[in-house]
Chains A and B, each alone.
Chain A
């Protein structure tokens, strides 16, 4: 469990893609900071573990059906939080395409595959911002995007994934300037963390995981809740009131030149 007591006490946060991995860890970290955590997921039945993790850390979990590619669902999720709790202080957009860990054959693929990535990571990034804007304006809140180091250095294996993650970085820089006068802060986190795909790899290809860990100066992959969660909470909290337009690389030192 991370230790962020009180940092987000009574604040209301929506975390998308919160059923597992980094999303679940970040949601739990917001819970430990005292937040009411909207757990945005495509299938509510898949959110029970996250809800339990948020409750276990002292937060208030609210499971929300929120397929971010569906404009109505994301609007409803935001409206439900505002209706039930009277405010929205932060949105953390973490959801990614279900194909995000797949390799992309750039030279032979089609725009259909691009659309899978862009609809979740590019279009929904814009749409969530638009839908949350009046509420974040009122609370002088924060919009946080979970990007990736791949979105900075470019990935040979996953060119689409890295491109859409880069999109979020460009979005953050520009929107931070646009929303600065409203006192809404816009940042991103580029984490290197254990994901469900890496958990699988640990079982199937333990040597490969060891090789990856060997590239990290701190010697391990980040834990979603205790390593990625706290910097994410910090960026949405009042403690980061003067931080906007930034991408914080949280990678155990793996990426030092980004």
Chain B
């Protein structure tokens, strides 16, 4: 069901972020997107872009699904140069910080922040040490800001999906070079659209009924990784 609330989708140029923005737009939600060429680690540019998009208003929801695709390349850590490590591990961390910081400036009181991340960090994946490192960092950064922004009744929660769903969203793998991730388990539930799953959870987290949920992690992987 369409929402009259405004949603800022960060990371809408590819993967699950693209699919989420598309679905929300199609059903009539008010969507705000940053230019795909924007460097998310440039706080000044991100802030300026947001202010020009939002004007004197504010946004009700922020969906953050931005991880640099270089982080999906599988490689042993001993083979990485410092620059490759930085791009795959630390750039996503810096991007998440700047995105959250700048989004905070345009977020309405009572707003909802929802981060979308791949499930890799819960179990760890050989060959994807930088990505796992970045994801765990962002997960806990989300908890920290959930604590900080609670006084404004802003909630901050994380939804995790399987890596392939995060990378591809609704699109077919097609020519995309999908990292071969070792299968860590089989889903308990029959296959379905991860984007549908995530949209349902975004709506739930954005609803008044979820006003008391913050700092939480919801894993929408159809029962593949059941955490202890």
List chain B residues, Cβ under 8 A from A170: 121, 124, 132-137
**Is A118's CB under 8 angstroms from B77's CB?**
no
Q: Does A164 contact B (CB under 8 A)?
A: yes
| CB-based contact A174/B126 at 8 Å | yes
Main secondary structure of the interface of B (DSSP, over half): helix
Inter-chain CA distance A133–B76, complex, in Å, is 11
Q: Which of A48-56, A94-102, A149-157, A207-215 contacts B (4 or more CB under 8 A)?
A: A149-157
Question: B73 in the interface, Cβ–Cβ < 8 Å?
Answer: no
Q: How far is the CB of A226 from chain B (nearest CB, A)?
A: 29
Q: Which of B89, B128, B134 has the most CB of A within 10 A?
A: B89
A109 to B43, CA, bound (A): 10
Q: If A127-B82, A130-B77 touch, does A159 touch B126 (CB 8 Å cutoff)?
A: no
CA distance A164 to B143 in the complex (A): 13
**Interface status of A7 (Cβ within 8 A of chain B):** no
CB A225 to nearest CB in B, in angstroms, measures 28
Q: In this assembly, does B21 line the interface, its C-beta being within 8 Å of a C-beta of chain A? A: no
Residue A173 at the B interface, CB < 8 A?
yes
Chain A contacts of B120 at CB under 8 A? 174
Q: Say whether A251 faces chain B, with CB atoms less than 8 Å apart.
A: no
Distance (Å) between the CB of B142 and the closest chain A CB? 7
Q: Is there an interface contact between A173 and B132, defined as CB atoms closer than 8 Å?
A: yes
Given contacts A159-B144, A175-B129, are A111 and B77 in contact (CB under 8 A)? no
The distance in angstroms between the C-alpha atoms of A71 and B85, with both chains bound, is 14
Partner of A178, one of B89, B126, B134, B136: B126
Among B25-33, B96-104, B190-198, which stretch is in contact with chain A?
B96-104
Find out whether the CB atom of B90 lies under 8 angstroms from the CB atom of A110.
no
Contact partner of B134 (CB less than 8 A), chosen from A152, A159, A167, is A167
Interface residues on B, range: 35 or more
Interface residues on A, range: 35 or more
CA distance A12 to B148 in the complex (A): 43
B165 vs chain A, min Cβ distance (A): 19
* Bound form: Cα–Cα A258–B93 in Å: 22
Q: Quick one: closest A residue to B123, CB to CB?
A: A173
A82 within 8 A of B: no
Mask, A66-107, CB within 8 Å of B = 1, is: 000001000000000000000000000000000000000011
Q: Closest CB-CB distance, A151 to chain B, in whole Å?
A: 6
Counting CB contacts under 8 A, is A65 at the interface? no
Q: Does B112 contact A (CB under 8 A)?
A: no
Q: A126-B77, A129-B77, A170-B135 are in contact. Are A154 and B129 (CB under 8 A)?
A: no
The digit string for B63-90, where 1 denotes a CB below 8 A from any CB of A, is 0000000000000111010100110011
Residues in A neighbouring B8, C-beta threshold 8 A:
none
B residues less than 8 Å from A107 (CB atoms): 101, 104-105, 148
Asked whether, in the complex, the Cβ of B135 is within 8 Å of the Cβ of A133, the reply is no
Known A129-B77, A163-B141; judge A154-B215 contact (CB<8 A): yes
Tell me, yes or no, whether A114 is within 8 Å of chain B by CB: yes
Contacts A114-B94, A126-B85, A154-B146; A174 near B125 (Cβ below 8 A): yes
Q: Known interface pairs A174-B124, A175-B77. Does A166 touch B148 (Cβ–Cβ under 8 Å)?
A: no
In the complex, which residues of chain A have a beta carbon less than 8 angstroms from the beta carbon of B139?
166
Most chain B beta-carbon neighbours within 10 Å: one of A109, A158, A170: A170
Q: Given contacts A107-B148, A111-B94, A167-B136, could you give 20 more A-B pairs where the C-beta distance is less than 8 Å?
A: A106-B97, A106-B148, A110-B43, A111-B97, A122-B133, A126-B77, A126-B85, A130-B80, A152-B140, A153-B143, A154-B140, A154-B141, A156-B148, A163-B97, A163-B140, A166-B139, A168-B133, A174-B125, A178-B126, A245-B124
| Shortest 8 CB-CB contacts between residues of A and residues of B | A170-B136, A154-B143, A173-B124, A166-B140, A159-B144, A174-B132, A156-B147, A174-B124
17 A–B contacts, CB within 8 A, in A order = A107-B101, A111-B43, A118-B93, A123-B82, A126-B85, A126-B133, A129-B77, A154-B140, A154-B142, A162-B144, A163-B137, A166-B141, A168-B133, A170-B121, A173-B132, A174-B133, A178-B129
